[in-house]
Amino acid sequence: MAKPTGFMEYKRVENASISPLERIANFKEFHPKLDEDARREQAARCMNCGVPMCGAALKLKGMVTGCPLHNYIPEWNDALYKGQFDMAAWRLLKTSSFPEFTGRVCPALCEKACNCGSPVVGEEAVTVHDNELFIIEKAFATGYMKAEVPKTRSGKKVAVIGSGPSGLAVADWLNRRGHSVTVFEREDRAGGLLMYGIPNMKLEKNIIERRINLMKEEGVEFVFNADVGRSASADHILGEYDAVALCCGAKKARALNAVGIEKLLADGKGAAGGKMLAVDFLTAVTKCVISTSSALEKISMQPTNGQIAQMLKKLYG
Ligand code: SF4
């Protein structure tokens, strides 16, 4: 257990948020992190529950509560509190391939399920999400995170289609097992929605590149601009590889359940018509931010920073 009285001694403190008026000046992340001592105090709040609902992933009324990865949350909270950072990272990485992504963008089902935040205990949930991010960033900063090339290879070749979170996780696990993995991605960079769906201020793109570089060092190969079935031959892949994992499709926009929506989108679909699906807009913005394209400039009705500032002033005073 982290600290038996921690949850009574320390109040929950989350990473701060830079004010909206400041953060619109750029596309950078806007949650400055707590320092090490403050973060360890937050880890001390974990009660190491007999039944840790945070990582249980129980199904209640058809819905999952707690971490779907079954993360060993009390274990790494304990290690974090004690300053055993390598141990914390080791336990965290046992169940989570990419804590640097989930520590930033996961909606933290663990915290919704945390017993500390229940009416019985009467406190606020442990900051599991921010603790996770601290552990993995510490692991990168100290050099704990380094390429681990499999000692032996199985001789089997696997093609992974799509390099979103699922494709990357599949590639990571299969590579660890010694298979030779090639990831095919239709965009010019890996990450899928991580790269071209989640805005830069939520997940800076160099964080994804850092992980991709690590995976490359570990032996995973990436082929970009390969739209399998179109620009890349599916028959060739089926003939060349022992197995194929399909990890694609998340970028397909969900249909809006509104009368006349097809006509609305068909009439001048795209930036020129002033209407875009959000997923296309986010892709365009991110491409602009990382300078692979100037697509953002083509989007009409793009509010200026000044207009956004006025809007936010109205909202927040
Ligand atoms: S439910 Fe909350 S307090 Fe209990 S072990 Fe999980 S994080 Fe710690």
Span 60-103, pLDDT tens digits: 888 888 999 999 999 999 999 999 999 999 999 999 999 999 99
Q: Cα(116) to centroid of ligand 1, in Å?
A: 6
Q: Which of 10, 115, 128, 131 to mutate to test the pocket of ligand 1 (most atoms within 8 A of CB)?
A: 115
* Mean pLDDT of all residues in 47-53: 93
Give the residue, out of 3, 67, 114, with the most ligand 1 atoms within 8 A of its beta carbon, to mutate for a pocket test: 114
CA of 77 to the centre of ligand 1 (A): 9
- Mean pLDDT, the chain, whole residue set: 87
Q: How far apart are CA 122 and CA 116, in angstroms?
A: 7
Q: What are 254-299's pLDDT values in tens digits?
A: 777 888 777 777 765 555 466 677 888 788 778 777 754 343 343 3
pLDDT for 230 equals: 87
Distance 172 CA to ligand 1 centre (A): 28
Q: Where are the domains of the chain?
A: 6-142, 157-246, 261-316
Kindly report the protein residue whose alpha carbon is nearest to atom 1 of ligand 1.
Answer: 114
Q: Which atom of ligand 1 is nearest to the CA of 125?
A: 2
- What's the CATH class of domain 6-142? mainly alpha
pLDDT, residue 298, reads 39
Residues paired with residue 182 on neighbouring β-strands, in sequence order: 159, 221
Tell me the CB-side half-sphere exposure of residue 248, using CA atoms within 13 A. Answer: 17
CB atoms within 10 A of CB 163: 30
Atom number of ligand 1 nearest to Cα 113: 1
- Give CA–CA dist 276/265, Å, rounded: 8
What residue ranges line ligand 1, CB within 6 angstroms?
46-49, 52-54, 73-74, 77, 114-116, 126, 128
The token pair at 232 is 């890349």
Which alpha helices (H) appear in 1-84, and where do they start and end? 6-9, 20-23, 36-44, 73-81
Q: What is the pLDDT of residues 159-192, one digit of tens each?
A: 999 999 999 999 999 999 999 999 999 999 999 9
3-state secondary structure of 246: strand
> Does domain 157-246 sit in CATH 3.50.50.60?
yes
